[in-house]
Chain A
Amino acid sequence: MHSDDQTPDAAGPLPQGPSRRSFLKQTGGLLGVALAPPIASQAEALADKMAPASPIISGQASMSLNINGQARNLRLEPRTTLLDALRENLDLTGTKKGCDHGQCGACTVLVDGRRVNACLTLAVMTQGKQIQTIEGLAQGDELHPMQEAFLRHDGFQCGYCTPGQIMSGVACVKEGHATTDDQAREWMSGNICRCGAYPNILAAVREVAGQQAKG
């Protein structure tokens, strides 16, 4: 589970020059005749100590984000949030910007299956992770059960909070946090609805939880 929060070493497309260790391994290969194994491993230990610092990214840099199962290559500054990258750079405007400060949930997306606020997430830190947005929920023309349920129960009025509510609802059910009305209310509380469509949102989330419980 915890590896969810880690950026995998090799998968991350951060620019990574050949490490000192692999350089020494190569030269060790060339000079292998002269170097007895214990010395080679001492050299490796030394190389680890002197390992070059990790690369520093500043200004625009190339990155690759995996969004809805597709690798998307783009150039971004480190300060670009995942929310802005989605909306401004990738034209995925389904994810909404409400407060931009973690206070409303309109920007909720799934990163490695966990719901997060895209407005407080730096795009650079999501490299190597699976990002799912509202655009990635339907299978072709077939809506996700949560989308269906929101339609059936009128889970929205103006619709602005809806993509965030739906993404949060999907995660809430998957987490097992929608087994009672009270529990679902509490675990959906990170998504604010200014129109007050809460009773209908709750009905939609609870219905999907019920369907999945039945299997």
Chain B
Amino acid sequence: MNNFAYTQAASTKEATAAKAADKQAAFIGGGTALIDLMKSNIEQHSLLIDINKLSMLGIENAATGLRIGALERMSDVGEHPLVVQNYPVISQSLLASASPQLRNMASMGGNLLQRTRCGYFRDTAFPCNKRQPGSGCPALVGDNRTLAILGGSASCIATHASDLAVALVALEARLTLESPKGTTRTVPLADFYKLPGATPNIENHLQPGELITAITVPAAAHARKSHYLKVRDRASYAYALVSAAVGLDVQGGTIRSARVALGGVGTVPWRVLAVEKYLVGKPATEENFRAAAALAVRDAKPYEHNKFKLELAQRTIVRALLEVV
């Protein structure tokens, strides 16, 4: 790990200004992603700006929806009664992530900005377009078992690793961002992430110095009836091979609204609107779930070792939907 300077910001203004003034600086929340990357020399930073003293806390549920401060820890949000009751998919996605220790440390904002677990990205002995633009992508013809079948490009097929982001994209969550000028804006999380295209090194639309201060999730009947199903190589403490975040509002046996997003298959958290559209207005039956799930992978482009995700993604959607009817 390179040597760096450290400061603890006393205000969001101070934090964003310090970051805007130094291109090599980084915010540090829980540090579980950042320190890991810095130890492996995947990232180098001149200055770490500790944001833990900033007042970006709180888990509040109003009639309009849920608001979570960006510094809330994964463990506290995952077990918060308001979240467990009204937004089970968020709680379940968090408690299926990482380990109890890591969840005690990791912040919500940091979680959404974690970087891919693609093995080539994580090993500086290999070229990688995301880590070193223009150097190439060994995964296209190499070991791509865990990588994406949706949203990839000739430059990169790395999956987005966050479970939380899949749940939040399904529920149409928004981020509140604060700029160094002190202005705030909100963006749908789904639009925040960028497809890799020719520049896989640019992963989101965060502006220089911008800080995530909060996450908001609109209230909805399908949010209360929601579920996160994560399929992985071992039962716990592992990233998703495939995951599904689903929510259904069923009345009198008919689906009124549906939300379905996939993890582990896309280069960004992957909402499948075609599946949702198919389900609305139809009876909530396994048969319909199957027919809908087939639409999720219609445009998929599998690689040598990850063809299994085509079938697995569909089965994961069906099983997750069966949990909420």
Q: Which residues of A contact B (CB under 8 A)?
A: 1-2, 5-7, 9, 12, 14, 51, 53-59, 77-79, 81, 100-102, 105, 108, 114-117, 120-122, 124-125, 168, 171-172, 175, 177, 185-187, 189-192
Contact B31 A120 (CB under 8 A): yes
Does chain A have a CB within 8 A of B7? yes
The answer to whether residues A120 and B32 also contact, given A5-B52, A7-B53, A125-B52 and a CB cut-off of 8 A, is: yes
Contact A53 B7 (CB under 8 A): yes
CA distance A187 to B98 in the complex (A): 11
Contact A54 B52 (CB under 8 A): no
B28, B50, B101: the one within 8 Å of A117 (CB): B101
Which residues in A have their C-beta under 8 angstroms from that of B30? 120
Contact A121 B31 (CB under 8 A): yes
Identify which of residues 38-57 in chain B touch chain A, using a CB-to-CB cut-off of 8 Å: 39-40, 47-48, 50, 52-53, 57
* Stretch in B68-76, B221-229, B252-260 touching the partner: B68-76
Which residues in A have their C-beta under 8 angstroms from that of B10? 51, 54
B32 CB, min distance to chain A CBs, angstroms: 5
Interface of A is mostly: loop
Q: What sequence of 0s and 1s flags, for each residue 85-106 of chain B, a beta carbon within 8 Å of any chain A beta carbon?
A: 0000000000000111110110
Contact A168 B237 (CB under 8 A): no
| 9 sampled A-B residue pairs with Cβ under 8 A | A5-B73, A12-B8, A51-B14, A54-B14, A115-B100, A117-B99, A117-B102, A121-B31, A189-B237
A136 CB, min distance to chain B CBs, angstroms: 17
Counting from the closest, the 8 A-B pairs by CB-CB distance are: A190-B99, A78-B6, A58-B5, A189-B236, A56-B7, A114-B104, A189-B237, A190-B101
Contact B8 A54 (CB under 8 A): yes
B6, B18, B57, B73: the one within 8 Å of A57 (CB): B6
Contact B100 A177 (CB under 8 A): yes
